[in-house]
């Protein structure tokens, strides 16, 4: 009976989400972020139903080191998108953030205009959990928000960890935000991020900075020229803007649209989404296999010793792996 009752709930929740009901969206997000198995399973069931409702949405990832002006940029871009009658979902993926510290998105006062608009749904990073857990929650949040009619999803991440790879694997356009500097534009950006970007926006191209920004753009374009084309076959776009002065935000959006329309024409857009879904399927399988292994009590009790022996060359890595797996496997 319990099960039936739950199913009814989920069906109701689903239809309310499809109607864009804010409270139901929040409830659904809480379910998928929950660590309690019963809520979690309901969340899975819901997301699975919602997955089937195909929507014309765009998913934009935004990364950049702290200080680059991400929240100001998201606010400016968000306002521009609202002017064009879009409904916007804003998510963050940053497993390093904690409730007390507050991720940039958690600090809603910095996105005052957006957070008060009913056509915007802002959700900070879940305050706990591994990157894998946060990435899963973020990807499922996209499904929920899209089903609820949010047609542009902005996903923020800080450009200093592994989280960009996760964001890169869930968006249609990955944007790297930078500021003009003296040839060291990439300091603090993790290696490889620049190559994942579909576009780079140099922010703070304002006042005296404008020349430096132009120079940085040229330098970047020259450097990018040395790399092979991204999988989309489109060169990484380098654009300038001033989020603070809301200057050239329209051009940035136009650039993103041109890029995505080309991707749609070449079918790369659909191809990328299908590949991303399969990527997450495989990731989820691997994650689950690893989690249940590494949570095993026998493994936990023995891991440290094995790791030390391997680091000190007392044991070969492959023998160690074999031995710890044998320890964990129940004797037949």
Which residues have CB under 8 Å from 193's CB, separation 6+?
Answer: 63, 159, 164, 176
Q: Among residues 186 and 240, whose Cβ is nearest to a second copy?
A: 186
DSSP 184-205: -TTTTSPTTHHHH-SEEEE---
Furthest-apart CA atoms within the chain: distance in Å: 73
Q: Among residues 117 and 296, whose Cβ is nearest to a second copy?
A: 296
- As measured in angstroms, the least distance from the Cβ of 292 to a second copy is 9
In the chain the first and final C-alpha atoms are separated, in Å, by 38
Q: Residue 250 is inside which H or E element, if any?
A: helix 249-265
Which residues have CB under 8 Å from 127's CB, separation 6+?
Answer: 97, 98, 99
Q: Among residues 98 and 278, whose Cβ is nearest to a second copy?
A: 278
DSSP 119-173: TEEEEPPPSSS-HHHHHHHHHHHHHHHHHTT--EEEEEEETTSSHHHHHHTT-SE
- As measured in angstroms, the least distance from the Cβ of 14 to a second copy is 13
Which residues here bind a second copy, judged by CB under 8 A?
44-45, 47-48, 51-52, 54, 136, 139-140, 143, 183-192, 194-195, 219-220, 222-223, 225-228, 230, 274-275, 277-281, 283-290, 293, 306-307, 310-322, 324-325
Pairing between β-strand 152-158 and β-strand 58-64 as defined by DSSP bridges:
parallel
- As measured in angstroms, the least distance from the Cβ of 188 to a second copy is 7
- As measured in angstroms, the least distance from the Cβ of 28 to a second copy is 13
Q: Among residues 159 and 255, whose Cβ is nearest to a second copy?
A: 159
Q: Among residues 33 and 75, whose Cβ is nearest to a second copy?
A: 33
> Would you give the distance in Å from CA 87 to the centre of its chain?
18
- As measured in angstroms, the least distance from the Cβ of 243 to a second copy is 22
Can you read off the two tokens belonging to residue 318? 């492959």
- As measured in angstroms, the least distance from the Cβ of 112 to a second copy is 34
- As measured in angstroms, the least distance from the Cβ of 313 to a second copy is 5
| CB atoms closer than 10 angstroms to residue 318 | 9
Token pair 């004797």 is found at 331
Q: Among residues 254 and 274, whose Cβ is nearest to a second copy?
A: 274
Rounded (10°) angle between helices 2-18 and 37-51: 50
- As measured in angstroms, the least distance from the Cβ of 282 to a second copy is 8
Q: Among residues 214 and 315, whose Cβ is nearest to a second copy?
A: 315
- As measured in angstroms, the least distance from the Cβ of 229 to a second copy is 9
- Region for residue 287 given its phi and psi (left: phi exceeds 0; alpha: psi -120 to 50; beta: otherwise): alpha
Q: Among residues 109 and 304, whose Cβ is nearest to a second copy?
A: 304
> What torsion, rounded to 10 degrees, do the Cα atoms 206, 209, 214, 216 define?
-130
Q: Among residues 107 and 308, whose Cβ is nearest to a second copy?
A: 308
């Amino acid at each position: 009976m319990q099960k039936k009752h739950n199913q009814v709930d989920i069906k109701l929740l689903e239809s309310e989400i499809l109607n864009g009901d804010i409270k139901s969206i929040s409830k659904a997000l809480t379910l998928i972020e929950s660590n309690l198995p019963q809520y979690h399973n309901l969340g899975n069931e819901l997301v699975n139903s919602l997955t089937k409702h195909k929507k014309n949405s765009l998913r934009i990832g935004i990364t950049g080191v702290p200080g680059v002006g991400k929240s100001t940029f998201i606010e400016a871009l968000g306002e521009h998108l609202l002017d064009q009658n879009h409904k916007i979902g804003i998510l963050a993926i940053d497993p390093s953030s904690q409730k007390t510290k507050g991720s940039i998105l958690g600090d809603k006062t910095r996105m005052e205009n957006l957070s008060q608009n009913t056509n915007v749904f802002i959700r900070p990073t879940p305050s706990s959990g591994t990157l894998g857990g946060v990435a899963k929650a973020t990807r499922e949040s996209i499904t929920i928000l899209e089903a609820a009619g949010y047609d542009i999803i902005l996903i923020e991440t800080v450009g200093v960890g592994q989280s960009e790879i996760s964001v890169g694997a869930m968006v249609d356009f990955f944007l790297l935000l930078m500021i003009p500097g003296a040839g060291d534009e990439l300091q603090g950006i993790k290696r490889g991020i620049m190559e994942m970007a579909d576009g780079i926006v140099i922010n703070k191209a304002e006042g005296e900075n404008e020349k430096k920004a132009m120079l940085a753009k040229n330098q970047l374009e020259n450097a990018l020229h040395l790399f092979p084309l991204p999988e989309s076959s489109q060169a990484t776009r380098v654009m300038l803007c001033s989020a603070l002065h809301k200057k050239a935000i329209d051009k940035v959006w136009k650039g993103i649209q041109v890029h995505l329309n080309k991707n749609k024409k070449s079918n790369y857009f659909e191809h990328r989404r299908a590949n991303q879904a399969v990527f997450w399927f495989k990731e989820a399988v691997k994650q689950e296999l690893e989690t249940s292994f590494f949570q095993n009590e026998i493994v936990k009790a023995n891991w440290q010793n094995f790791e030390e022996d391997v680091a000190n060359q007392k044991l070969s890595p492959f023998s160690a792996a074999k031995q710890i797996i044998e320890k964990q496997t129940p004797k037949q």
